[in-house]
Chain A
């Protein structure tokens, strides 16, 4: 399953031991730069650098990495098609006015904007992938604690995170049980089966919640959750790499200004 694959990689990758805050700064900084950039060049630049970091430094398998892009890019293509057709503009390449009061057109401006959005998506995904592939969720919880996010919120996040995998396991088991008895062989049946699956998952999670309370009670729960504050210091070389990555990207943002594709 995807979520376990991501966790597996995050636990074992080559950048696992790098200070969490540095990775967070690099990832979040990259996202912000992608968003404020007026040109398509900086997001592409960031995507290439972070992609290289994930493949060569974190040593993530290239095929696995590429597969992670498929799903978000499919969404991106759909919305970009919309942007290109609907945005409008002055320099029209093609247009269609089939229905009264509704026209679609492809213009220079719409193509430029569509491509910019596409590149931002690409940059954003690569920044998110960089974070999720190099930093296990548990390290991020620690970082949250350092950032003074209230303990209650973090405790809740940790319990939810832990429970997701248990619930997911159960959903998969129920799903397999249904598939084995041809639960998804026809359209009507698959709808029925899916409804049953949701109901069963709800009941299972309710039960798991009851058990959770009992398990916490049995271990003297009094509102405290242990922190696992094993923070690795940021090494000067790593700080230098992250700072120069962000500086370089910022420079690209400034230099490229609002350069467009066509």
Chain B
């Protein structure tokens, strides 16, 4: 278990109008965790989030950051806000400057960095969110998803340890939401702690490490998603709906099917459940292979040739730069979200797949597939992409 980065001890907060928004909340968040804060409108989610970077000061109780009590003098707040980045729900309200560059540069400039450092920070942040080349664009000409990315880049440019996002997927189309959630995954993988508030149970359920259910200024339940969302009563009273996978699992259980006690997080888990129930068709060939292409490191010149020699390979892209690469080189993507799981599903059908991914996510593919292997006993080979000549005799599948 990694150490605690944020902690609240019995905090209470009453709005100037007299309504009590937070009624005694205690919780802690560990480093590198992905936390989903869910609850109905008016549950106090936004107020609670604003306490995390000192925008709202609790009336009683104590907030701790890195095991130190949060101080509310301007100098300490500056340090806190540099380390806890906050992305508002409405990007229009967050984007201040008349060009994308100036907006992303806003934080680093105010932190007192010199111009070269600012430029580097902006370039890095825009690259991260996939908005290179947008520097000169005025924000009002961007789409909702792009604005959201600018807002996130503006916070990333300050290189915070913790990212707090209020309703990051509200107002976005489904594929835009998936992209944002994927981006958050990528950032988490690079070591950032991520806290979001959302109503979208289906997105939060497979994504979060831990879920906090809130209602009327109190914490209703706080646990791993399977448990937090698995309790029908608390989910109902938080005005949410049960994730469809859990509902399916529950119905199967109620009908007396011998499904495993462990609740499914993904389609893959459900398929595993079902395949245990149903007799597998005999004579199925072995699992297909997953080829991992690192768009940051691998030699991509031979990729088109490789693809044309294997016409039926389904391709997925993980991470912003991988998707950009696919778009630039005209690769038609079959999966853009939940890519590893979808590739495992294909592999179980005996089909070969390929994952385009950014350097930082390569290890994740091996990890996920191996975890699946140890859990289910089905061994799926994962190969790194190597150029055409020596691909045939390559047979690596990572440690298992």
Contact present for A228 and B102 (CB under 8 Å)? yes
- How far apart sit A217 and B72, CA to CA, in the bound complex (Å)? 13
Q: Which of these, A8, A141, A216, A220, contacts B98 with CB under 8 Å?
A: A141
A219 and B106 form a contact (CB under 8 A): yes
Asked if A161 contacts B98 (CB within 8 A), the reply is yes
- The answer on a CB contact under 8 Å between B101 and A219 is no
Min CB distance, A224 to chain B, in Å?
5
Tell me which residues from 92 to 119 in chain B have a Cβ below 8 Å from any Cβ of chain A. Answer: 92-99, 101-102, 105-112, 118
Contact partners of A215 in chain B: CB under 8 A: 88, 93-94, 96
Instruction: Select from chain A the residue with minimum beta-carbon distance to B79.
Output: A220
* A 128-158 to B, binary, CB cutoff 8 A, 1 in contact else 0: 0000000011100100000000000000001
Q: Is the CB of B105 within 8 A of A218?
A: no
Query: Closest approach, in angstroms, between the C-beta of A207 and any C-beta of chain B?
Result: 9
Instruction: From the candidates B88, B102, B138, B139, name the one contacting A225 in the complex (CB within 8 A).
Output: B102
The reply to whether the CB of B78 lies closer than 8 angstroms to some CB of chain A is yes
- Is B365 an interface residue when CB atoms closer than 8 A count as contact? no
Q: Is the CB of A220 within 8 A of B78?
A: yes
Write out the residue numbers on chain A whose beta carbons fall within 8 Å of the beta carbon of B109: 224-226
Question: Which of B96, B101, B118, B139 has the most chain A CB within a 10 Å cutoff?
Answer: B96
User: SS class of chain B's interface: helix, strand, loop or mixed?
Assistant: helix
- Closest B residue to A16 using CB positions: B136
- Chain B CB within 8 A of A186 CB: no
Q: Evaluate whether A219 and B81 lie within 8 angstroms (CB atoms) in the complex, with A136-B138, A228-B135 already known.
A: yes
Alpha-carbon separation in the docked complex, A169 to B90 (Å): 14
Instruction: Tell whether A7 is near chain B: CB-to-CB under 8 Å.
Output: yes
Q: Is the CB of B138 within 8 A of A7?
A: yes
A216 to B97 CA separation, bound complex (whole angstroms): 10
Q: Are A219 and B78 in contact (CB under 8 A)?
A: no
B141, A226: Cβ atoms closer than 8 Å: no
Cβ contacts under 8 Å, B55 to chain A: 214, 217-218
In the complex, the answer to whether B155 meets A219 with C-beta atoms within 8 Å is: yes
B158 interfacial by beta-carbon distance below 8 Å: yes
B interface bracket (residues with beta carbon within 8 Å of A): 35 or more
- Chain A residues positioned under 8 Å from B110 (CB to CB): 219-224
Q: Tally chain A residues at the interface, Cβ within 8 Å.
A: 34
**Interchain CB contact under 8 A, B136 and A230:** yes
Our pick among B82, B88, B92, B141 for the contact of A220 (Cβ within 8 Å) is B82
CA distance A48 to B264 in the complex (A): 72
Does B140 sit at the interface, judged by CB under 8 A? yes
Given contacts A4-B140, A137-B98, A218-B86, list 15 more A-B pairs with CB under 8 A: A7-B140, A136-B138, A138-B98, A158-B97, A162-B96, A215-B94, A217-B55, A217-B81, A219-B106, A219-B107, A220-B81, A226-B108, A228-B99, A230-B135, A230-B136
Q: Mark B residues whose CB is within 8 Å of A.
A: 53, 55, 78, 81-82, 86, 88, 90, 92-99, 101-102, 105-112, 118, 135-141, 154-155, 158
Could you pull out 25 A-B pairs where Cβ atoms are within 8 angstroms? A4-B141, A11-B137, A137-B138, A138-B98, A162-B96, A162-B98, A165-B140, A166-B140, A169-B92, A208-B93, A214-B55, A214-B88, A215-B96, A217-B55, A217-B81, A219-B106, A220-B78, A221-B106, A222-B78, A225-B106, A226-B101, A226-B106, A226-B118, A228-B105, A228-B135
